[in-house]
Amino acid sequence: MAPIPQTPQGDPPEVPPATPGTPTEPPREMPPANPQPDIPPPVQEPDSPQTPQELPGDTPSEAPLRGPPSPLPPEPLHD
């Protein structure tokens, strides 16, 4: 194993602290790349219906309506 380079005082060199305002993480790619560049976008078949560009309007709720409220519990007895 190679020896650690040392300063004339015999101490190992110190890593300088991060400069304020300088990010410690590597810079992001400019412009940001596609996260999966090897996967092509899906191809639209010519005879398939068009993909909607917005959400559909109001649709009926598939959840059943609520029934009548349950009876209230009896009031506690007071001495």
Give tens-digit pLDDT for 27-69: 666 666 556 667 777 777 778 777 777 776 776 667 667 788 8
pLDDT digits (tens, 9 = 90+) for 33-44: 556 667 777 777
Whether residue 4 contacts residue 12, with contact meaning beta carbons closer than 8 Å, is answered with yes
What is the rounded distance in angstroms from the CA atom of residue 51 to the CA atom of residue 71? Answer: 49
pTM given for the model:
0.16
For residue 9, the model assigns a pLDDT of 58
